[in-house]
Structure 1
């Protein structure tokens, strides 16, 4: 059989230089898109919200309850920051308008930033804030400035009117380069709005977790754009940027054009925090004691001291331990406390250069508590959630994951309940739900074979899930008749649903296929490659014709790189065919063929 394309297939481009899509599907990207809050008569602001990370705002329900400083902890730091932000310092120690607060993972930087954001919002001094999160997909660098612009518009009617008009006239600004977005959507409307609304000049902008924004270059670009606006006096704000002290961020902050504008605030791991951690444990343990009607002797002072030592100054450890002890999905707080104390004693001799490695024995404990017949399901949930695209806001992400795994929603929630200490399932809206991690360190642990050993989400778990998805896709292809599209099936069907309906699960299955084979660490074994060779890729656009399901083909380079060398040309290869009916060629066209024989599919790679 020759490698000529089928004349009935039409394709449209997706996601930049190294991937493609099929069947005239709508263009999208890796970012989270949200249902719009209707803004009558303001279509520009509606478009702006669609290009914003609403779940990263300081008051987002998706982050509720957010990390916060409790019981007057970190009071000195909070006062220092809010006094800097409002100009209340009698003798300013933080003289510059760009403040970089940095410290290692888990020391409570986000809690400090959140509490300061809440305080400034109450004083009408918060212009905007973004709390980035890698595991929760709040990290698209191209949405940073539109997200801030939307918050500025919420806080200033004058600014809102100007931005709404600008976007109506030039909607492409929302996908323009970051520097252009900053100039056209922030700097220019500010000139007019600030003259009418003097409150704008009192605003502080908070960017928390900059190191979790996707791409090192993007992180540095954001720093440089903000610094240039301060240097050129094009924005009146004070800027608080919070991050880990990553080498590239240190270089960017201390570069010649940025350093003179900068004040620094180091948040180290310090035994000085132990008294505040003890206070927190004492209050939270007291709350658990009351909730479960436990005796006053439960959790003695000596045991509290052990918990403080175990936390090692890591506030993320403190909060996770409290959630674990008070978990409703356990044998009760007495047994949970005993387990934590046992781990704490064993971990005292464990050493590592990674400050969060102190959490590893505790994460081991959490995973060891899960029934053996559920562990495999949980590993697959975590793996699939990590790689699965989440850009369709109208889709119930949890339902999609459950369908791929062949689980009922009830079964999915039951499995996730074993991880209450480290994650929760949050509502984006009435329909859309997603998994939210309290801290990135848990998925870092689960992704590292040396740390999580048999619980790692890669290795045998990856291979098993890859093969399950491929087999189920092949089964559906063999069951389907002709080229009947799956347009008669609601997508997704709200629960209760028939998880055995093959076409109901087809859309999420095909959306999961390539991410499971192309993401870093998602190596394809020879046995999995054998199954891929049997996939009838040509059936996918036939079955998804007119479906709202977007199927995104592979990022060619990483996909090929994860395949065994001897299988690469058999599964995906370059096509030298120079025309496909209905395709608009890019400036540097290149097409690829997926599969073999009658099951092959020609796809366009775009630059």
Structure 2
């Protein structure tokens, strides 16, 4: 039977011993104790068990006495020899003769050994296990041994050996089927009732007491371990104090008393943690689950710069208070965090978790600055997330979340070199969602910039670090535009939209300024370059965006800014004038409306004369689905032309799906959903009309800021919007007026020159 520290193994062992003794089944019991010099080794184990058996079986006593007289030095021999000489052989002789008081009813065959892990020598523990296994297999006495222990790594290894498994049955006190939390709740409820009925100061207790939420917290803090609950009750039940005040002291609702409530529990924690060979390193590791809950072993090794798989080795002696599963390490006892965080309780094991957290942040910044992208996959932004959460919701001063190590790491962080490999990746074509920026890199850099933004006003040093990091990012983007994407209109458009249009002088409508052009408007996803622009563009995405916009305008000046706007306008016009995309959308629209354009083209006379003319496009019905109010989907039935013209909400652009009635009812059919056929009748990808409307609305705001750019001038002179612009005549008219104004300005500049 194994379980974590304080799980109640010894209490169960004592209860089993008492019950088996009453029923005549118990041969003997031995309880190891690390703090008792007479019970922390195996030297007295066989003598104690032999003495207990002698009381139960008088014939056994005579046989053992004779054996001791024949070999007075028997207690100096190995544990295996002692067991064989003083227990196994005489017990076999007595039971074989049947000369014992309980022969007519039951035969005592159980020996209980509790706290095996508290035996001082690891070798003695393993030797004892192998001796008991041999006794079980080779004797005819059918002795059964109940071994109770913490799940120490060396004991787990010994129990897992092939010759041990055949005679072993495991009982896990912390298994999922073990309802420890409910048992602890019942225990606490019963004990609190006893205190309210029999305590000397019961008349001082408020009603109700204790509050239900207090009991819930105690059950949660117990983490399935009875030692925590028992410690609470012993402390609260002190006859010299008011129970409600003692409980309030545990919840830190009043100053603590002279006697600390968790003395026994703290001694247990100190005993277990002190067993670790590399104690300073182990304490560094324990700070991670103490701060962040279950935490990845791989991330810990990366932050602390440890060898792979070394955390498991370092924590091998602590498996009774920590658990490792699915690559994460966590605490079996939630109260262990309180122990480590309180110097009065932990003593030399105390961990300043606030300082440890800042150390983790500084190490992360250094790690992402100095390691390659392949190695950066081994670490996440967890510490940053915790710090950012506390910065937003904690009452502490922002200065409490800054350290000299963080400032030094930030000053050395190479922002320009970090971004350049990602920004120079080939921009994929439209509809391609590939991205070479890893999830961990993206999470880190967003959290890092948010953190710098939160602490920028703490001191002059933090302010300088913040502005320098933002400036390095902006310089990197502009350098990449000049060196790699000087003729790429897509890249210039993204840079313009996310990093230049947020200037107050542009005065864009809200719905234009904060449209999610990556995901909602058709499928305009332009690779890693676009991902990075999205991460830091727009106040709705990142708090640094306004400062980044300000730096961009300072760096580019008027002439370069006009060039970027001109190339961005060229991108808009190239999309708005693309008749091929318009024909793709028209084809989809005609299919929804029930038209067959191929038949109309091949047999025009037959189509007009023999087949009744279908209703006009504006009267055909379809199911329109779009998102509104942060993801809530709205579905309505309307005509296609009305959907295209009026379904754009006033507060922004959002994804619109147009589905035929046939597709819609198929998807709603329970029989189709239950048979899995719904996967094959998904609605087609959203059309590009939303992106078209967005660019049509945006173009009049971009052209006034654009300088002379010959490709743009040539496209403007053609004035050749695609046919789908006819669906939005007012928007198209405004866009053409902006084009005329731009051409007149260019003509005046040319004439002036």
TM-score by length of 2: 0.34
Which of the pair has the greater relative contact order for Cα pairs under 8 Å at 6+ separation? 1
Higher helix fraction (1 or 2): 2
Bigger Cα Rg: 2
TM-score by length of 1: 0.42
